[in-house]
Amino acid sequence: MAAASTNSFLVGNNTQIPKSTSQSLLHLTKPNTLTLAGKTKPVSVRCVSSTPQVQDGATRSTPTTGSQDRVFNFAAGPATLPENVLLKAQADLYNWRGSGMSVMEMSHRGKEFLSIIQKAESDLRQLLEIPSEYSVLFLQGGATTQFAALPLNLCKPDDTVDFVVTGSWGDKAVKEAKKYCKTNVVWSGKADKYTKVPSFNELEQSVDAKYMHICANETIHGVEFKDYPVPKNGFLVADMSSNFCSKPVDVSKFGVIYGGAQKNVGPSGVTIVIIRKDLIGNAQEITPVMLDYKIHDENASLYNTPPCFGIYMCGLVFEDLLEQGGLKEVERKNQRKADLLYNAIEESKGFFRCPVEKSVRSLMNVPFTLEKSELEGEFIKEAAKEKMVQLKGHRSVGGMRASIYNAMPLAGVEKLVAFMKDFQAKHA
C-alpha cells in the first residue's frame, strides 16, 4: 500500500491500517517514524507534517494523505478545494498556530483574525494586481445579494443600467435590479439557449446608462467572456463568481468585480467585491445597512461579524495560488484542462456535444450532452462508480456539466476523458 509515492502517510510492511485512520491525519513537526503497537499486527507509519511552518516553499510536497479515498468532484459550487489547503486547515482547525483556539473561535477584532483578513486582502491584491484606488470587501450573501446591492449603491431609481445577458445568472441580475433602477437588456442570448456572447460593436447601449452589467462566466451555460465590452457611458460591472481568480484580469477596466467564493477561492458564505473607491458612498436611502458598500469600506469589512472561517479559507487559497506562480500560471493549467476536455468532445464526432459556440467556451464549466440522450443517466451513474461525481447538468439545461475550477487536478480531467472514450467505445 502506498509504496513509494510522494505521500505524506506511508505505511510499511504492506500492513493495512484502519480506513478511518488513513483518512485522517497524523501531525508531527518533523518526519518521524511511529511504531503503532495495537492489538493487531504492528505497523510502521511515517508522517510528514502538513503545518505551514514545516513546509518548504521551494520543495513543497503535495500532501496527499488519504488521496486514495478522495473523489474527483465536478460540482459547480461549492466545489473541490486544493488538497494542501484542506490539509492546512485541518491541521490548524483545533488550535491555530499556537493561539490556543480555532479560527472559528477568534474575535473578529482580535489581532489573530486581523492578521488573517489583512493577509487575505493583501494576497488577493497581489494576485489580481488590484490598483490602490480599488477597495476589496469581504461580504456575505452570495452574488444574489449583490444583484440588489449594486443598483442600490450605484444608481438612483431613475437611472438606467445596461445588461448583456449571456445566461441565467445575468438574467437573475436584471430581475433583481428592476426593483431599484431602470434596466435595459441590450442583448440576450436566451433565444439561442445562452450559447453565445455578442460582438461588442453591435450592442445598442443606452446613451445615459449608469453602468453596464455582465456575468463574466455563466456557470450553468458554460459561456465565458474572453474580452470585455467598453461602456459608452459609465463603467463595467462584472459578476465573476465562477471564474474569479482563474486567470489574470485587468481590474482597471471595471468599476466593480464581484463574486461568491465557492467556486475557485473558498467555501460558500463569502462574497468578494472589488470596487473603485469613487463609486462608494451614494447608496439609496432604502439600502439595508448590510448592503451599503460605504459601511463595509469604512469598517474594513468588520462592521459586523464577518464570515471569519470562510475568509481564512480564501486566504489559504490565495496563498496557494501565489505559490503556484500566480494567475498566469493558473490560467495556463486551466487552459490545458479545458482543451483536453473540449478536444475529447470534438474528437468524439458527435457522440458528445457541447452546445456553446467555440470561441466563448468556458474554461471553468463544460456543459455537454450525448447524441443518444437516453444514455446520459448511465453515463453519470457509471462515472460516479469511478469516483467522478456531480457530473449531472443543471436541472434547467439537462445533460452533463463538468466544472473544472482551479482546484480540479489535471488527473481528474484526464480520468474523465479516458472514461468518456471508454463509454463511447462501449456504446458507439
Residue ranges in 83-122 that form contacts with a copy of itself under rule CB under 8 A? 83, 86-87, 89-91, 93-95, 98-102, 104-108, 110
For residue 293, give the amino acid letter. Y
Helices (H), 237-373: 293-298, 308-323, 327-347
* Assigned C-alpha cell, 140: 456575505
Q: From 331, 337, 339, 362, select the one nearest 197 (Cα to Cα).
A: 362
Choose the stretch contacting a copy of itself; rule: CB under 8 A; options: 36-44, 245-253, 318-326, 342-350.
36-44
Q: Specify whether 96 is catalytic.
A: no
**Residue 307 to residue 35: CA distance in whole angstroms:** 41
Grid cell of 156 as nine digits: 438612483
CB of 50 to a copy of itself, least distance (A): 9
Residues 251-290 that bind a copy of itself (CB under 8 A): 260, 262, 266-270, 285-286, 288-290
Among 88, 169, 292, 337, which one carries the catalytic annotation?
Answer: 169
351: Cβ contacts below 8 Å, ≥ 6 apart = 370, 371, 372, 424, 427, 428
Concerning whether 263 is annotated as a catalytic residue, the answer is yes
Q: Cis link prior to 157 (omega < 30° from 0)?
A: no
Q: Which of 247, 263, 337, 392 is catalytic?
A: 263
Mask: binding to a copy of itself, 65-84, rule CB under 8 A, as x and -? Answer: xx--xxx-x-xxxxxxx-x-
Instruction: Tell me the CA end-to-end span of the chain in Å, nearest whole number.
Output: 37
The residue among 53 and 201 lying less far from a copy of itself, judged by its C-beta, is 53
Kindly list the distances between the CA atom of residue 26 and the CA atoms of 8, 51, 90, 148, in Å, as whole numbers in the listed order.
Answer: 9, 11, 11, 46
Phi, psi (5° rounding) for residue 309? -65, -40
Query: How far is it, in rounded angstroms, from Cα 232 to Cα 248?
Result: 24
Distance CA 101, CA 199 (A): 53
Residue type, 326: G
H helices of 156-290, in order, are 168-177
Specify the residue, 305 or 373, whose C-beta has the smaller distance to a copy of itself: 305
Which cell goes with 64? 496527499
Q: Which helix (H) or strand (E) holds 154?
A: helix 142-154
- 21 belongs to the binding site for a copy of itself (CB under 8 A): yes
Q: Which residue has the cell 508522517?
A: 47
- Residues 239, 292, 297, 320: which is the catalytic one? 239
169 is annotated as an active-site residue:
yes
Helix/strand/coil for 239: strand
Beta bridge partners of 389: 73
Q: Any contact of residue 411 with a copy of itself (CB under 8 A)?
A: no
Considering only 3, 39, 202, 359, the residue that binds a copy of itself (CB under 8 A) is 39
Q: Which residues, 146 to 175, sit near a copy of itself by CB under 8 A? A: 147-149, 152
Give yes or no for residue 365 binding a copy of itself (CB under 8 A).
no
CB of 299: closest distance to a copy of itself in angstroms? Answer: 11
Least spacing, CB of residue 219 vs a copy of itself, in Å: 11
The interface region with a copy of itself, picked from 25-33, 189-197, 249-257, 363-371 by CB under 8 A, is 25-33
Indicate whether 310 belongs to the interface with a copy of itself (CB under 8 A): yes
Nearest to a copy of itself of 155, 270 (CB atom): 270
In the complex with a copy of itself, the residue whose CB is nearer, 229 or 315, is 315
Which one among 62, 118, 299, 305 touches a copy of itself, defined by CB under 8 A?
305
Q: Site for a copy of itself (CB under 8 A): how many residues?
A: 94
Q: Which residue number, 143 or 275, has a Cβ lying nearer to a copy of itself?
A: 143
| Residues with catalytic roles | 169, 239, 263
